[in-house]
Structure 1
Amino acid sequence: MKQTGVWQSDLSLPEYEQNIAVLVRDNTARFGDRIIYQEIRNGSERKLSWNQLSSDILSIQQFLLDHGFKPGDRMAVLSRNRMEMLEMELAVMSMGAVFVPIFAGFPCQIADSLVAFCEPAFVVVADQGQYDKISSPHAYRGIIHFDPVEQSHANLYSFRDMVGYSRAEDFAGYDVPRDSVCLMMYTSGTMGKPKCVQLTHGNILSQQAALRLLWNLSEEDRFLSYLPWHHSFGGIFEKYAAITNGALLSLEHGFGKNTDLLIENWKRVRPTVFFSVPKIYQEIVTRVLQSDEVENIIFHDGLRFIFTAAAPLPKNISDVFQSRNVPIMEGWGLTETSPCCTITDPKVPREPGVVGFPIPGVQIKIADDGEIMIRGANVMKGYFRNPEVTRQVLSDDGWFATGDVGEFTDIGLRLISRKDRIFKLTNAEKVIPTEIENLITKDCAFLTHAYVTGSGRDHPVALLFPNKAMFSNIPDKSLLKGSCECPRSLADLSSCLNRCLRILNDSMTVKFYRLNAAMLVDYELSIENEELTPSMKLAPNVVGKVFKADIEALYDGKQVYSDKVYVIHLE
């Protein structure tokens, strides 16, 4: 697996489709009237078969061609996951054009600027609210709406009219080269301004070819999907795993924000596989421990495995799944790598922070400064309208600098930190904040996130964000660390954390990692406020700015009187 400092799979990447058009054509011939997608909308269930999908694609493509949208053009989309968005994406890609999904929760100014930046010929909006974010609708060749809007002008079109349009004879993009860009995604921007990543047909399809070697997915599998399609985890990794294998992709119409609805959808769909981030697994486990009925719904006989990514899955959460014989797989990657680079082996004992070995077709090496470097068919073509930054991260011989620091262990790649999050204290000692954050959260089911900072200071401090849903739960004692009791309020949790953090400090052999103070903040971080990325990772630059005054108070030793904040002094 390791040759001259480069790690790669022992399995060779098999042959795979040239482009998305070929994939859809072949799967339509294979699966016909099988359902590819279903959703609940306005209280009614809607289903889409492979045959209907291909028929609609032919109509959409003919409409677009007749209205001036051609291969190579870009289409920006402001919408949540829905059937129309899936059909539009596959139609655009299958004609050799480029699909650009953008987070529908962005406020007007950000959404409008991201749409304009990608220079689309057409813009798609879900509804009136998304339409209103476009400041200059006449600047684009066409605006398409899924749901009705009040406006009426010459370049405004309804999706309903598109699928009712006369059909083309065949897909327009069978001959599109594998290295043609078909998808552009804005990075989640955890450390700064988002960049627009250009991904090719080959990027997406090579990854799915690798997964076919590793996983035995088929048309019998059922996906319950809430992960947003403007983000690579849901929009590429999960969605195309279902599409490629002919599995059923069922929309979780609570979008991961309503645990009751998630459980209701789980009962209805009975997913065989589930892809999510640690925050959602934490909420699921909380409800499982509260109710035998929920436990029976989640851990039904057909559940084959769960997949987690974006952040380390706390051991106390993974233990619940493993104790019920549900394999856990964890992966790591970036939007720029389509996204997956490594996957864990469920037969190997899990270790938080270890994300497995390279998937077929991916090479990994560790640079002298510890940065993880990636090369393979999954690596992006570059950043749109940003050649300078592209040159900074992508070498002439194809190595992509990820910005993550890591090392290989006997059981796989261990992630250490984002390179630009590592800071120095006043004594010039380097601190890797994610190591401390992971130590704080890995055994505590009562915290969703921890944020450690301290650049240019004498010592690090931490902000802690509670999982208040746990207050109504009496957890398994196995989920509690040592002599911890079950807190029933933020005040109780603050007292508990005071004890736990002191124990953690005492256990740290690296003394300058010890926290001098921490603050429990009664605040729910959100994607809408950009404090979390779409994959629920904490966005440290934003959190640092939002809570700047609280951090200063911790360092100044000032008492903060608020029912929203609990200061924990650890000196």
Structure 2
Amino acid sequence: MNTLRLFDLAYNQLNKFPNPNMFVTKANGKWEGVSTSDFLKLAMETSRGLIALGVNPGDRIAVVSSNRVEWNTMDIAIQQIGAIMVPIYPNISEADYKYIFNNAGVRFCVVGNEELFQKISNIKDSITTLQKTYTFDLVNNAHHWLEIAALAGGVSEDEVKKRSEEIKNTDMVTIIYTSGTTGNPKGVMLSHNNILSNVLACQPRIPADQYSRVLTFLPVCHIYERMLHYLYIHLGASIYFAESLDTIGDNIREVKPHVFTAVPRLLEKVFDKIMAKGDELTGIKRKLFFWAVELAEEYDVKGKSGWYHFRLNIARKLIFSKWQEALGGEVRAIASGSAALQPRLARIFLAAGVNVLEGYGLTETSPVVSVNCLKNGIRIGTVGPLIDGVEVKIAEDGEILVKGPNVMMGYYNNPEATAEAIDAQGWFHTGDIGDFVEGKFLRITDRKKEMFKTSGGKFVVPQIMENTFKESRFIEQIMVLGEGQKFPSALIVPNFSFVKDWAERKGFDLRSKSNQEIIENTTVVERIGKEVTEFNKKFGHWEQIKKFELLPTELSVEGGELTPTLKLKRKIILEKYKALVDKIYSN
């Protein structure tokens, strides 16, 4: 069995290929790198400071921050003295913070900025175990995180090394609280080996090496991005921190990354921007643009005729090369996860020579179970072949069951939920429904808990429908509902910027109107109705959306309607828009 621990990866990088730009951050308009040796030096001082503070093996330390090199430094510092890192999303509610801190018994906390410091300060009196909060930013009346490293003088490096030598590969390294769509978050306990087995199994699937530049912007507190950080460290690649989601386009053009990760929502927004630019074209340029997009919609990795590829090569030279330039011009792969990717979008990006590789996993599986990749094959509409060492079995009811070294140790302080999730044979029950395509490529068809029956006893699978309807450029977000009702219906958030552009082309002005006025505009409602009718044709009669209501604001994490990984909190959305749902079904 593998004896490596996660923190060993950084030391291996120092020994094998020390990187002057291990982590790179943009400060005052310039990208500035931190070397492997400087990174580990500060991590060591922080570890010594933590011991001086009285941190013992097994103590829980929370880190609440957006992505930054200090996060990773703190992670290694906590790990190598046997304490447990509890990473927490910076955009959850105070009630969730309170629950997580108390459930985990957090002793110390490090937060990113003043806003987060205030959030934790507001609830600190209701967390009996919390002794002190530190900040990465300089914040008035707060302890700066470098105060921890300043305590290092009282503890030798040998003391840290002694502790790290006692840490086993099978020991717990982190508790990650999953943002469930219902109930309180559950603390997923992961060992060094859980995550490391995933790092090593994913290595052949990611086209990166010690000379690669990778861009990071998905939250590193989520296991998906965090596991990839360890993989990048293992490979010796340079990790660049995007400034924010608003600057992502500029950062991609500046860094010219070889690899980055994305969620479908981001790829949808990138695609919408590209299409909006296409709409602005006129004459032959416009014709060529839409000819290329239509050609891309027919793409299939399993091969097309020589005549198709001849035309595709022309489209790539004339049109798609510009798409590639917008993504920096050097992208080898974009790893997409966390939610289902529209097959149409995957098809178009792959045709354009942009390798979007969709994968699947859960926090409980550290996280990757399967992923499409350039070496093992790609099938559009699937989440790819299984990674090495992981087994999947499809239960009688279609549920995907997973077994392997990546399956969690269990839920912290929650033996009942653990027993419910992992059966006596060691199979983890994912709650997802799926099957295999060609006996090799895993396909997710729905969440077990989200399928519903109409009053006529017919099953409806909302996720597949929602993904299909989102192919419409008029629809930004959609939730299909109708459990126990005579027919399915939907709540739809229009793509307001596209609707305004469309209205302008049709000769009427919506730019000065509020979102509420736009959704009350009968021409807009009729046009979206046309889209619904068109997409309904792809589904059985019993599945088709018979009625819909438009929402004036986007569903968001801050609004409480989405989990931090952007999944719909259906129950909360139904409660929030109860009046609209009642209106749909009142007759």
TM-score (norm 1): 0.85
**Contact in 2 for aligned 1:122/1:141 (Cα 8 Å):** yes
Judging changes above 3 Å, is the alpha-carbon distance between structure 1 residues 242 and 494 closer, same or farther for their aligned structure 2 residues?
Answer: farther
Confirm whether residue 556 of structure 1 aligns to residue 586 of structure 2. Answer: yes
**1:136 alignment partner, SS class:** helix
How far did residue 114 of structure 1 move?
A: 1.8
Confirm whether residue 497 of structure 1 aligns to residue 528 of structure 2. Answer: yes
**Contact in 2 for aligned 1:343/1:359 (Cα 8 Å):** yes
Aligned to 2:232: 242
Confirm whether residue 434 of structure 1 aligns to residue 463 of structure 2. Answer: yes
How far did residue 278 of structure 1 move?
A: 1.0
Q: 1:136 aligns with which of 103, 119, 124?
A: 124
How far did residue 227 of structure 1 move?
A: 0.4
Q: 1:543 aligns with which of 573, 581, 584?
A: 573
**Contact in 1 for aligned 2:13/2:19 (Cα 8 Å):** no
How far did residue 108 of structure 1 move?
A: 2.8
Aligned to 2:267: 281
**1:250 alignment partner, SS class:** strand
How far did residue 385 of structure 1 move?
A: 0.8
Separation in 1 of the partners of 2:213 and 2:271?
A: 21
**Contact in 2 for aligned 1:370/1:407 (Cα 8 Å):** yes
Query: Identical aligned pairs, as a percentage?
Result: 28
Q: How many residues align?
A: 519
**Contact in 1 for aligned 2:336/2:358 (Cα 8 Å):** yes
Aligned to 1:108: 94
TM-score (norm 2): 0.83
Separation in 1 of the partners of 2:270 and 2:45?
A: 41
Judging changes above 3 Å, is the alpha-carbon distance between structure 1 residues 508 and 108 closer, same or farther for their aligned structure 2 residues?
Answer: closer
Separation in 2 of the partners of 1:213 and 1:179?
A: 23
Separation in 2 of the partners of 1:494 and 1:406?
A: 35
More helix by share: 2
Confirm whether residue 147 of structure 1 aligns to residue 175 of structure 2. Answer: no
Aligned to 2:204: 213
Which piece of structure 1 moves more, 75-84 or 186-195?
A: 186-195
Separation in 1 of the partners of 2:258 and 2:221?
A: 24
How far did residue 544 of structure 1 move?
A: 1.9
Unmatched runs of 5 consecutive residues or more in structure 2? 278-318, 503-509, 512-517
**Contact in 2 for aligned 1:287/1:294 (Cα 8 Å):** no
Q: Deviations over 1:266-297 (max 9, x none)?
A: 11111111210111111112223445997464
How far did residue 472 of structure 1 move?
A: 6.5
Confirm whether residue 194 of structure 1 aligns to residue 185 of structure 2. Answer: yes
How far did residue 382 of structure 1 move?
A: 0.5
**Contact in 1 for aligned 2:91/2:564 (Cα 8 Å):** no
Judging changes above 3 Å, is the alpha-carbon distance between structure 1 residues 350 and 468 closer, same or farther for their aligned structure 2 residues?
Answer: farther
Aligned to 1:336: 364
Q: 2:447 aligns with which of 407, 411, 418?
A: 418
User: Partner letter of residue 11 of structure 2?
Assistant: R
How far did residue 199 of structure 1 move?
A: 0.7
**1:268 alignment partner, SS class:** helix
How far did residue 535 of structure 1 move?
A: 2.4
**1:357 alignment partner, SS class:** coil
**Contact in 2 for aligned 1:19/1:174 (Cα 8 Å):** no
**Contact in 1 for aligned 2:255/2:328 (Cα 8 Å):** no
Judging changes above 3 Å, is the alpha-carbon distance between structure 1 residues 471 and 49 closer, same or farther for their aligned structure 2 residues?
Answer: farther
Aligned to 1:168: 157
Judging changes above 3 Å, is the alpha-carbon distance between structure 1 residues 34 and 397 closer, same or farther for their aligned structure 2 residues?
Answer: farther
**Contact in 1 for aligned 2:336/2:357 (Cα 8 Å):** yes
Aligned to 1:9: none
**Contact in 2 for aligned 1:233/1:535 (Cα 8 Å):** no
**1:396 alignment partner, SS class:** coil
User: Partner letter of residue 220 of structure 1?
Assistant: Y
**Contact in 1 for aligned 2:205/2:374 (Cα 8 Å):** no
Q: 1:508 aligns with which of 539, 542, 554?
A: 539
Separation in 1 of the partners of 2:229 and 2:493?
A: 31
Matches within 5 A, 1:400-419: 400-410=428-438, 412-419=441-448
Confirm whether residue 518 of structure 1 aligns to residue 507 of structure 2. Answer: no
Matches within 5 A, 1:224-243: 224-236=215-227, 238-243=228-233
Matches within 5 A, 1:42-191: 45-134=31-120, 135-136=123-124, 139-151=129-141, 157-164=143-150, 165-166=152-153, 168-169=157-158, 171=161, 172-191=163-182
**Contact in 2 for aligned 1:316/1:444 (Cα 8 Å):** no
**Contact in 2 for aligned 1:312/1:438 (Cα 8 Å):** yes
Separation in 1 of the partners of 2:384 and 2:4?
A: 28
Q: 2:23 aligns with which of 23, 26, 37?
A: 37
Judging changes above 3 Å, is the alpha-carbon distance between structure 1 residues 240 and 447 closer, same or farther for their aligned structure 2 residues?
Answer: farther
Judging changes above 3 Å, is the alpha-carbon distance between structure 1 residues 469 and 225 closer, same or farther for their aligned structure 2 residues?
Answer: farther
**1:77 alignment partner, SS class:** strand
Q: Deviations over 1:114-147 (max 9, x none)?
A: 2222112211122332222333367424332222
**1:68 alignment partner, SS class:** coil
Judging changes above 3 Å, is the alpha-carbon distance between structure 1 residues 108 and 56 closer, same or farther for their aligned structure 2 residues?
Answer: same
